């Protein structure tokens, strides 16, 4: 799948430079992201909901694939850091006129962008841009194909830590379309690095990657068995837009087997939380009574997403002796 070398994410001092994947990043760095996000999470309660940290910096959202929530939370995070934000929806922009990705990149650099937030339907696109970006420019992956969605994974880790404290004793189940899910891949790497007891993936054979066990997870095909005694249930969205063939008989049948209901949730620990990266297909991945129920933390995930993105952007922003780019 994606070609990636993890050291491209760190500078020579081991500090975050690009945030492309949770894979291969040390536990200390993931924990630092969560710790810094903790301070940003307090900001919305203040009269002035922003800090001057990235004042004078330009952050460009480069979205080759449509997204409302992710782009909006990145934009809000950048604005709460006092950066200026450019939004490029490339699906309807110059690349459709034949401009290459590198030409687009050079043009945006000429507009003095300090950071690119990239979403693309090709796995490895964010790595490609990070490799070709000018030295002082940082790249944040906002989702590339089936490969990675590291800020989503980290906001999920933040949500779990908020509710459960320590990662060590936790059993976490990820349910659904693992095969097409960059979110699941990034979550699995982060959960393993942060040292949870067990990660389970639950889904039909057609939606589980063949290499699942190599990722260090336990595989279940029954939801009832898979959620037994877990502390966290993460539901994934069915990625209908990424399915090439008929991997599912029908949504109705999927819900019958893998839809999360109050009854099935009974098998999890009494204080288990239910998460979903959104947008939810109600009645497909889960019942509305679960999505809106007391164990659902889905809307908190959205709020925490802003704080986590602020943390990642402020950590990865290039610093140098001259102020701005070195």
Partner 1 sequence: MTEPKLFMSDAAIGEVIAGMARMLQKRLAERGITDPVMIGIHTGGVWVAEQLHKALGIAEPLGTLDISFYRDDFTRIGMNPQVRPSQIPFDVEGRHIILVDDVLQSGRTIRAALNEIFDFGRPASVCLATLIQRNGRELPIQPDVFGLEPPLQDSEHIRLRGPAPLRLEISAKALPRHAEDEE
Residues of this chain that bind partner 1 (CB under 8 A): 15, 32, 35-36, 38-39, 41-42, 46-48, 51-54, 314-315, 317, 319-321, 323-324
CB of 13 or CB of 271, closer to partner 1: 13
Q: Write the CB contacts of 315 (distance below 8 Å, at least 6 apart in sequence).
A: 15, 16, 19, 32, 33, 36
Closest distance to partner 1 from the beta carbon of 32 (Å): 5
CB of 85 or CB of 317, closer to partner 1: 317
Strand partners, 296: 274
CB of 48 or CB of 92, closer to partner 1: 48
CA 168 – CA 280 distance, rounded (Å): 29
Closest distance to partner 1 from the beta carbon of 122 (Å): 30
CB of 230 or CB of 317, closer to partner 1: 317
CB of 111 or CB of 322, closer to partner 1: 322
Output 181-184 pairs: Cβ under 8 A, ≥24 positions apart.
181/146, 181/236, 181/237, 181/239, 182/123, 182/143, 182/144, 182/145, 182/146, 182/147, 182/148, 182/149, 183/149, 183/152, 183/153, 183/156, 183/236, 183/277, 184/234, 184/236
CB of 54 or CB of 139, closer to partner 1: 54
The tokens describing 198, both together, are 């067990």
Closest distance to partner 1 from the beta carbon of 325 (Å): 10
Closest distance to partner 1 from the beta carbon of 50 (Å): 8
Closest distance to partner 1 from the beta carbon of 114 (Å): 10
Closest distance to partner 1 from the beta carbon of 317 (Å): 7
The tokens describing 87, both together, are 């939004």
Torsion over CA of 121, 126, 131 and 133, rounded to 10 degrees? Answer: 100
């Amino acid at each position: 799948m994606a070609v990636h070398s993890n050291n491209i994410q760190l500078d020579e001092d081991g500090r975050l430079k690009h945030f492309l994947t949770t894979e291969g990043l040390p536990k200390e760095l993931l924990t630092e992201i969560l710790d810094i996000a903790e301070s940003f999470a307090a900001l919305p309660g203040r009269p002035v909901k922003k800090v001057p940290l990235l004042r004078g910096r330009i952050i460009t959202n480069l979205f080759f694939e449509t997204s409302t929530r992710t782009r909006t939370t990145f934009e809000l995070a950048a604005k709460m850091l006092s950066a200026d934000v450019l939004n490029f929806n490339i699906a309807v922009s110059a690349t459709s006129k034949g401009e290459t990705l590198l030409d687009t990149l050079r043009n945006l650099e000429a507009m003095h962008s300090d950071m690119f937030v990239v979403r693309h339907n090709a796995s490895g696109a964010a790595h490609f841009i990070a490799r070709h970006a000018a030295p002082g420019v940082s790249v944040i992956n906002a989702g590339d194909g089936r490969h990675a969605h590291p800020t989503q994974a980290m906001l999920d880790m933040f949500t779990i830590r908020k509710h459960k404290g320590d990662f060590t004793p936790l059993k976490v189940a990820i349910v659904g379309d693992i095969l097409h899910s960059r979110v699941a891949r990034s979550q699995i790497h982060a959960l393993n690095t942060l040292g949870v007891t067990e990660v389970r993936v639950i889904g039909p054979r057609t939606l589980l990657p063949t290499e699942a066990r190599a990722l260090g997870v336990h595989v279940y095909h029954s939801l009832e068995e898979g959620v037994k005694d877990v502390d966290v249930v993460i539901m994934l969205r069915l990625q209908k837009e990424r399915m090439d063939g008929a991997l599912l008989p029908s949504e109705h049948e999927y819900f019958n087997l893998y839809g999360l209901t109050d009854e099935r949730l009974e098998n999890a620990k009494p204080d288990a939380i239910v998460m979903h990266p959104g947008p939810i297909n109600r009645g497909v991945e889960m019942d509305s009574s679960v999505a809106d129920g007391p164990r659902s933390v889905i809307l908190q995930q959205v709020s925490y997403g802003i704080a986590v993105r602020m943390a990642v952007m402020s950590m990865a922003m290039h610093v140098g002796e001259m102020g701005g780019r070195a």
